[in-house]
Amino acid sequence: MSIQSLMKRTQRWPQKKRHLEVEAIPNVSALIARVLSDEGYYGNGDPTSLNAPRAKEAKKARKTAAKRLRYFADDFPGAGQLADILTHCRPRHRCMSGACPQCGRAFQRWLVGQVTKLAEANPTPLSAVSIAIAEHRTPESQLHTLHTTGMKRALAYTLGKVTGINWVAGGIDLSLNDDTQKGSDIGWLPQLYGFVATSDIDTLSNLLRKRYPKTDQAPRPVQIKRFDGAIEAFSYAFKPGFVKRIAYKDSEKNRWDTRKVYLSPKHHVQAMLWMHKIGLSGRLFLKNIRMTRNGHHVELLKIRKLE
């Protein structure tokens, strides 16, 4: 279904539903909207081996998210409107919000399938990369001020210095880090989880560690390891949900460690409003590949360099 036909269909709906759908579309690119218009990604077919909820679980999570947003509508501007948007997400009329568990899961499944194809078509070894972007750490109450454009541009520039990189694909993740036991504060820390097709992992590792040095709040900001072939790892690069990490001192190992817990309801609402604001495209990171339309479908294709 084209974006034009989708917009024409909204014009035939009752006024309230038309308003909700039009409000949901502006932050979505035409290609992502085409992906999310494919109902096949909302089911449980291939890819099946994923670190992701099943279709019924995602639907339940969407309804729970809408209920939570509505409960905190008086505390967070826009929460009530987002609750309405998620409530009206349904087959063939998807809300396409970056905060929607069903739409996020559908896009995750599309991305996993496309990255799998790229990996199978290219013999260049894959490395899984995790980068905690400490310079963009944001205070607990200021998540709405966090933007991803600058961090993605800086990362692309750094990766451009590494020879031998074939392509990169990943997503911006987020965690709420509680470092009060370290004498610090609580803040949102963006991270990139992705995959790099490169034959020079040592240069990649050295350059990233120089660009993203360790800090008290991010003692191990860069982690790189060879990809072991598990498809579940691909899905981890674009998780639809976030966690809270609480720093604590491990007395046995005599070092700082973190414990993962669920976000509180209020923090969850903050995260959903942020995901809706930046959209799925705001979290997606691609280098040397691009989304492109192929008939009725959207694919990730390698960008050919000019000779």
195-237 per-position pLDDT tens digit = 999 988 999 999 999 999 998 888 899 999 988 777 777 888 7
d(CA 37, CA 92) in angstroms, rounded, equals 7
Nearest C-alpha neighbor of 33 from the set 59, 56, 4, 57: 4
**What's the pLDDT at 28?**
80
Contact 99, 268 (CB under 8 A): no
- Contact indicator for 132, 175 with CB cutoff of 8 Å: no
Instruction: Check if the beta carbon of residue 196 is closer than 8 Å to that of residue 285.
Output: no
Tell me the pLDDT tens digit for each residue of 105-150: 999 999 999 999 998 888 888 999 999 999 999 999 999 999 999 9
Residue matched to tokens 């826009």: 78
Q: What is the pLDDT of residue 231?
A: 72
For the chain, the straight-line distance linking the first and the last C-alpha, in angstroms and rounded, comes to 36
3-state SS class at 32: helix
Minimal CA–CA distance to 198: which of 102, 301, 293, 123? 123
Please identify which residue in the block is written with the tokens 């414990």: 259
pLDDT beneath 70, residues of the chain: 1-27, 48-51, 305-307
Which secondary-structure segment (H or E) carries 150?
A: helix 149-159
| pTM exceeding 0.85 | yes
Residue 305 has a pLDDT of 64
pLDDT recorded at residue 57: 94
The whole-number pLDDT of residue 257 equals 85
| Contacts for 75-84: CB closer than 8 Å, 24+ residues apart | 75/266, 75/269, 76/269, 76/270, 76/273, 78/273, 78/276, 79/269, 79/273, 81/23, 82/272, 82/273, 82/276, 84/20
Among 221, 218, 163, 162, residue whose Cα is nearest residue 193: 221
Residues whose CB is less than 8 angstroms from the CB of residue 141 and which lie 6 or more positions away in sequence, other chains included: none
Q: How much is the pLDDT for 232? A: 75
Would you state the pLDDT for residue 279?
94
What is the C-alpha to C-alpha distance for residues 274 and 151, in angstroms, rounded to an integer? 16
Specify whether the backbone of 176 is left (phi greater than 0), alpha (psi in -120 to 50) or beta.
Answer: beta
